[in-house]
Amino acid sequence: MQLFNEALDLLKQLISIPSLSKEEDKTADLIQSFFQNKGISTQRKGNNIWVKNLHYDAGKPTILLNSHHDTVKPNVGYTKAPFSPEVEDGKLYGLGSNDAGASLVSLMACFLNFYNEPNLKYNLILAATAEEEISGKNGVENILEELGEIDFAIVGEPTLLDLAIAEKGLMVLDCVATGKSGHAARNEGENAIYKAMKDIEWFRTYTFADVSKTLGPVRMSVTMINAGQQHNVVPDECKFVVDVRSTDCYSNTQILEIIRAHVKSKVEPRSTRLNPSSIPIDHPIVQAGIALGRRTYGSPTMSDQALMPYPSLKLGVGDSARSHTADEFVFIHEIEEGIEFYIQLLKQVL
C-alpha cells in the first residue's frame, strides 16, 4: 500500500510540472530528489535519471526498467487544466497521466520493491528518460553506453498490461523527382509531377515479400507533395514525403535499399535509427507474462524500444487510445494493479 500511495503522490506532482519534450529539467529534478530522499544514489545525464539496485553485481545480467517523463503539448480540446492533477470518478486527469506517467511511477515502485534484495538473479536499472515523444537524441539513446550491457528491457508505455512483443519502426523519406522545365503551352520539357506519379503509384501498390506474424506488412504512405511555381511552367522538380512503418521482418536500411532499387526519384531518409523491435515469444519474461494471464500482440505505435539494441518488452499501465487526447486520464486502480503486476512478473525471473 505504501508503494502505491507514494507512486500516486509522485504522479500527481509530475503532472503539475510542465515537462514538454526538451523541457523536462524540473521533472528530472523531482525524480532525482525522490530517489535521493530514500538514500538511493542517482546518476544523471541531461534530463535522464537512472538508478541501480543496492546489490548491483557487474557479473550478473541486467534488466532495464524504462519509461519517460516528457509529454506532448496539451491537446487543443482540453476542458480541464492539463497541469492540474484532478481526481474524479476514480480517474486521475492530467497531461502525461496515461502516457506515460502511470507506467513510470509503477516501474519506480516495482524497482523500490526489489532494491534491497541481496540475491537477485539479475541486476535492475531503472531509467526515467527524456525526449521520448520526439524520439530525441538527448533521451534514452544518449545514455545507452552509460547503462552498460543490458540483457533485456521492459519499456513502460500504456498497453493495458498486455504484452507488446513487437513494435513497428519508423522511417520518413524525402523524395525528389527531377524533370526539365518548359512552357506549358508548347508542351515543352519533362514534367516532374508525372515522373513522381509513377513512383507514388509504386509506393501505393508495392507489397513486401515478408509479412510479420505480429505486426503485419510494412506500410508506406505518401503524405505530402509539392511541385510547380506557376500555371504555365512545366515543373522541373516534384518533392514528396513518404511515411514508412517498418516491421521486425526488415531493418530500415533493408527497406531503403528495396525502395531505391524500384523508384527513379532521389530518396533520402531523415533517419534510419528508429528501427522495429521485438522479443521472442519464448523469452522467459514473455512466458512469465503469459502465465499471469496476459495476451501478446504487435504494437503499431512507437516508443524508446526503437532505440534499444537488445530485446525489449513494451508493457505498461493505461490505454494507448487515451494517449495525446484531450483530458488525458488514468484510472487510479490501474496504477495499483500495474505495480502489483510488475512485481509479480519480475518475481518469475528474479
Q: What is the pLDDT of residue 144?
A: 97
pLDDT classification of 176: cutoffs 50, 70, 90: very high
If asked whether residues 178 and 318 sit together in one domain, one would say: no
**Do residues 229 and 283 both lie within one domain?**
no
Question: Residue 333 pLDDT > 90, yes or no?
Answer: yes
Judge if 3 and 94 occupy the same domain.
Answer: yes
> Is residue 35 domain-shared with residue 146, that is, in the same domain?
yes
| 162 shares a domain with 143 | yes
- pLDDT mean over 71-81: 94
Please tell me the predicted confidence (pLDDT) of residue 185: 86
Closest-CA residue to 246 (of 204, 269, 215, 268): 215
Q: Are residues 182 and 260 in the same domain?
A: yes
233, 254, 269: which is the final residue of a domain? 269
Helix (H) or strand (E) holding 343: helix 332-347
The residue from 269, 287, 305 where one domain ends is 269
Q: How confident is the model at residue 186 (pLDDT cuts 50, 70, 90)?
A: confident
Whether residue 178 sits in one domain with residue 163: no
Q: Please state the rounded mean pLDDT for residues 90-116.
A: 97
Is 90 exceeded by the pLDDT of residue 184?
no
Domains: count for the chain:
2
Beta strands of the chain (E only): which ranges? 43-45, 48-52, 62-68, 86-88, 91-93, 123-129, 152-155, 163-167, 169-178, 182-183, 219-227, 233-234, 237-246, 266-269, 277-278, 296-299, 312-314, 329-331
**Whether residue 163 is found in the same domain as residue 174:** no
Euclidean distance between CA atoms 272 and 252, whole angstroms: 6
Residues 27-52: tens digit of each pLDDT: 999 999 999 999 999 999 999 999 99
pLDDT of res. 187: 82
Of 269, 303, 322, which closes a domain?
269
Using CA atoms in the order 314, 316, 319, 320, what is the torsion angle rounded to 10 degrees? -30
Is-contact 316 157, C-beta < 8 A?
yes
Helix (H, G, I), strand (E, B) or coil at 203: helix
Percent share of the chain, pLDDT over 90: 95
Nearest CA-CA partner of 153 in 65, 219, 90, 221: 65
CATH code, domain carrying 183: 3.30.70.360
Mean pLDDT computed over 262-281: 95
Write out the residue range of the structural domain in which residue 52 sits: 1-167+276-348
Given a contact cutoff of 8 angstroms between Cβ atoms, the answer to whether 82 and 315 are in contact is no
- Rounded to an integer, what distance in angstroms lies between the CA atom of residue 258 and that of residue 260? 6
Say whether both 219 and 244 belong to one domain: yes
Whether the pLDDT of residue 135 is over 90: the answer is yes
Q: pLDDT tens digits for 110-125?
A: 999 999 999 999 999 9
Rounded mean pLDDT of 140-164?
97
Grid cell locating 203: 509506393
